[in-house]
Amino acid sequence: MLKKDDIIFKPAHTPNRNWVKELDPRQMDSSLNSFKAPNNDKRVVTLCRPFAVLPKYSYSQPVTLPLGLAYVGGVLEKAGYKTRIIDSTGEQKLVKVKRSEDNLYNLQGLTSQEILESIDPNTFIFGISLMFSQEWPMHKILIQRIKKKFPKIIIVAGGEHPSAIPEYTLRDCPSIDYVIRGEGEFSMLEFTHNLFTNKSVQDIPGISFINNKENKFIDNGPSKRIQHIDKLPRPAWHLLKPENYFTDFFTIGLAKGKLRNMPILATRGCPYQCTFCSSPTMWTTRYIMRDPKEIVDEIEWLIKEYKANDFEFFDLTAIIKKDWILDFCNELKKRNINNITWQLPIGTRSEVLDEETLKALYESGCAFICYAPESGSEKSLNMIKKRVKLDRLVKSIKSAVKVGHTVKLNFILGFPHETLLDCLKSVFFGVYCSLRFGVSDVIYSMFSPYPGSELFEKLKKEKKINVDDDYFKKLMVYMDFTQSQSYCENVSSKMLIFLRFIGFALSYLAIYLSRPIRIYRFLKNFFRKDFFPNNLFEQRIYDFYIRLKLIK
């Protein structure tokens, strides 16, 4: 059994962009040519997104197309490798939700046995995407079962979780042979080529593994950042079943009738270093924007190939430069792409979202914006390095609602340094924006120290975190009203539960009672199963209702 003393945790990387290793277009072209698959090789690379693990009483948990796997699949296919993708949550048209054996979770998607049965017997490399650390205990069991049935398969894990704590991941689950850290398309390509051609993989950037002879952890650092994302092959959506996601529920943004929603990325990374976020470990602080024309080219391609009519941008921080977003909006309008909508559901910043920009967004089809202030306390914002000015944020929110956008706000309660007053400021700020400006949704999450974040490293160093399965299960607290966990010295877990309840209650009372027309729309939309453009809260009620029906 793994002991915590066996693991050496290295601090999360927050590198300066000046020394980030990068992959330029010439190197990308060279890689695609140099790392081609051997001729007539029948071996298969299988990529897998495992089943979703949700708290039994989850109030919000979207399940969307795996964009990262689609990008990796596109690169491997371009180089000639026989590539398969097992997308557990989208493999079947009929959504499946079952209770876990311990009765703690809802598991959505293919079961472990069904995943095992879906693996091509010619699989040589099995790549598994592990995005969310709270799912690790259940996914670890799946990986162990795969290795037991297919002992000769080489299992490589990528995604946010193993990128943040690669040594722990490898030692806690020896069935995993390698981890690829960070932006892994070309690390995975070189890794695959070297294994197919019997070459060493030990020096490939992004690769981590355990040297079994010496029981030593080998870490080659994060993968090289890709300078020009537009030069990547497009996501290999043909290896998945996008039509199974064209539903009225489980979307990350707002749903609508006859939704044909596809994910898209306009940027990669984030230049900021918020202490609660694992982005610096996964992406470094290098922020890369795509050419607006290339993004619109991809939108046109998705419309043509998949009849998509709505686009959710999965960017960590979508809008930083005003000229860039205006160019994108103008390109959409110039090409007369009508009858589509697009959304910013992840959370973006307010610095360049003035009235001019917000009007341009709205006129080009954007109808949903999520702001992520995280706190209503100036002290907390400084402590977590959020770099948000509340007065500018308020002005942007007011303008967004005035223009016609559906607006959502994200808050986190219970940062380690916070006092009761700091938490109350966040609640009051959310309620104020709901009542005064008419935002449509406010989310209050409990702070969870996520692997790879600065606060995770700090709390672990202070021995306030013992990294084991119980810790990972506690990460579920952010999406479950019935769970409580506080890492805050001044505010108890019970108080945080109370504050979150009060925050939701007062915000939604303000949202509906200050504008009674929304009550009528809610009732009408619930029975019509159409929540666009109106309110994410209503969408999540419908999602919860659907999962209750499915679990029966």
| Separation between Cα atoms, residue 78 and residue 33, nearest integer Å | 9
Model pLDDT, residue 398: 95
Query: Is the pLDDT assigned to residue 534 strictly greater than 80?
Result: no
Task: Work out the average pLDDT over 306-317.
Answer: 92
Other CB atoms within 10 A of residue 99 CB: 12
pLDDT at 51 over 70: yes
pLDDT at site 247: 77
Q: Which of 226, 223, 225, 154 is nearest to 187 (CA)?
A: 223
Question: Angle formed by the axes of helices 517-528 and 536-551, to 10°?
Answer: 30
**pLDDT at position 76:** 97
Statement: residue 59 has pLDDT above 70: no
Residue ranges in 234-342 assigned as alpha helix (H): 279-283, 292-306, 322-334
Q: Which residues make up the CATH 3.40.50.280 domain(s) of the chain?
A: 4-226
Q: Is residue 283 within 8 Å of 183, Cβ to Cβ?
A: yes
Sequence-separated (6 or more) residues with CB below 8 Å from residue 465: 449, 456, 459, 471, 487
**Quick one: pLDDT at residue 530?**
60
Average pLDDT of span 457-484: 90
Residues 6+ apart with CB under 8 A from 273: 14, 280, 285, 385, 454
Q: Look at residue 62 and tell me whether its pLDDT is greater than 80.
A: no
Query: Which has the closest alpha carbon to 535: 511, 502, 501?
Result: 511
The per-residue pLDDT for 95 is 80
The mean pLDDT value of the chain amounts to 89
Element (H, E) at 496: helix 493-513
Banded model confidence at residue 552, pLDDT cuts 50, 70, 90: low
Residue 537 has pLDDT above 80, yes or no: no
Q: Can you give the pLDDT at residue 14?
A: 41
- Cα–Cα distance measured from residue 156 to residue 136, given in angstroms and rounded to the nearest whole number: 15
Res 57: pLDDT: 78
pLDDT at 9 over 70: no
* Rounded Cα distance, 230 and 205, in Å: 21
DSSP state of 207: E
β pairing state of 105-108 and 123-129: unpaired
- pLDDT for 256 equals 63
Rg over CA atoms, the chain:
23
Which amino acid is it at 349? R
The runs of H, that is alpha helices, within 255-310 are: 279-283, 292-306
The pairing of beta strand 207-211 with beta strand 216-219: antiparallel
Mean pLDDT of 54-69: 84
**Which residue intervals of the chain bear CATH 3.80.30.20?**
246-551
**8 Å CB contact between 232 and 216:** no
The C-alpha atoms of residue 429 and residue 388 are separated, in whole angstroms, by 14
Which of 153-167, 253-267, 481-495 shows the lowest per-residue confidence on average (mean pLDDT)?
A: 253-267
Give residue 106's pLDDT.
87
Q: Does domain 4-226 have CATH number 3.40.50.280?
A: yes
Query: What pLDDT band is residue 528 in, cutting at 50, 70 and 90?
Result: low
Q: Which of 83-87, 315-319, 524-528 has the lowest mean pLDDT?
A: 524-528
User: What is each CA distance from 210 to 158, 218, 432, in whole angstroms?
Assistant: 15, 6, 52
For residue 24, name the pLDDT band (cuts at 50, 70, 90): low
Q: Is the pLDDT of residue 125 over 60?
A: yes
Nearest to 264 by CA among 365, 354, 163, 373: 365
Q: Is the pLDDT of residue 545 over 60?
A: yes
Q: Does the pLDDT value for residue 371 go beyond 80?
A: yes
* pLDDT(538) > 80: no
Residues 6+ apart with CB under 8 A from 313: 263, 264, 265, 266, 342, 343, 344, 345, 346
| Superfamily designation of domain 246-551 | tm_1862 like domain (3.80.30.20)
- pLDDT for the residue 447: 94
Q: Has residue 19 got a pLDDT over 70?
A: no
Residues 277-288: pLDDT tens digits? 999 888 888 899
Provide the phi-psi class of 317: left if phi over 0, else alpha when psi is between -120 and 50, else beta: beta
Mean pLDDT calculated for residue range 408-435: 96
Average pLDDT on 446-468 reads 95
